Amino acid sequence: MAFIHPFEGSLVAAEWAGTVVAPLYDSLTPEERRRYADSHPENYLNAMRSSEEYPSDEAPSPSVVLGRNARFVRRCIEAGRFVAQPQCVFVYRLASGGHVQRGVVAEMSIEAYLDGRIRRHEFTRIAREDALAQYIDHVRTASSPVSLAYRGDDAIRSRLDTATRTRPAVSHTTEDGVEHDIWVLDGSEAHSLISAFEVVSTAYLTDGHHRCAATARFSTTEADARLLVVLFPDDELRILPYHRVVRDLGGHSTDSFLTRLSESFVVEPLAEDDIDAALPRMRGEFAVHVDGRWFRFRLPDHVSRPPGPADAIDAAILQARVIGPILGIDDPRDDDRLGYIAGTDGLGQLERACREGWRTAFALYPTSMDELVAVADAGQVMPPKSTWFDPKPRSGFFIHDPLRLCGS
Peptide bond into 391 cis (omega under 30): yes
- Size (the chain), residues: 408
Span 178-204, pLDDT tens digits: 999 999 999 999 999 999 999 999 999
CA nearest to 119, candidates 338, 361, 382: 382
pLDDT at residue 408 in the model: 47
pLDDT at residue 43 in the model: 98
CA 38 to chain CA centroid, nearest Å:
25
Q: What angle do CA 163, 169, 173 make, to 5 degrees?
A: 105
In the 8-state DSSP scheme, what is residue 7? B
Question: Which DSSP string do the residues of 285-301 spell out, in sequence order?
Answer: EEEEEETTEEEEEE--T
Helices vs strands, H then E, count in the chain: 14, 20
Q: Are 341 and 290 in contact (CB under 8 A)?
A: no
CA nearest to 233, candidates 299, 158, 335, 141: 158
Q: How many CA atoms lie within 13 Å of 157's alpha carbon, on the beta-carbon side?
A: 10
CA distance 341 to 245: 7
pTM over 0.95: no
CA distance 11 to 88: 11
CA distance 149 to 195: 18
pLDDT at residue 27 in the model: 84
CA distance 162 to 150: 19
Burial degree of 330 (CB within 10 A; 0-12, 13-18, 19+):
exposed
First CA to last CA across the chain, in angstroms? 25
Q: Are 287 and 269 in contact (CB under 8 A)?
A: no
Output the CA–CA distances (angstroms, integers) from residue 107 to 5, 10, 245, 330, in the order listed: 5, 13, 38, 39
Q: Are 354 and 289 in contact (CB under 8 A)?
A: yes
Q: Which domains does the chain have, with CATH numbers?
A: 10-238+390-405 (3.90.1530.10), 240-387 (3.30.1760)
Q: Which residues contact 20 (CB under 8 A, 6 or more apart)?
A: 12, 42, 43, 44, 76, 81, 82, 396
Tell me which residues of the chain have a pLDDT lower than 70.
1, 221-222, 405-408
Q: Are 74 and 166 in contact (CB under 8 A)?
A: no
pLDDT at residue 407 in the model: 46
Output the CA–CA distances (angstroms, integers) from residue 38 to 45, 54, 166, 207, 252, in the order listed: 9, 12, 37, 27, 44
pLDDT at residue 177 in the model: 95
**Beta bridge mates, 95:** 100, 179
CA distance 259 to 303: 18
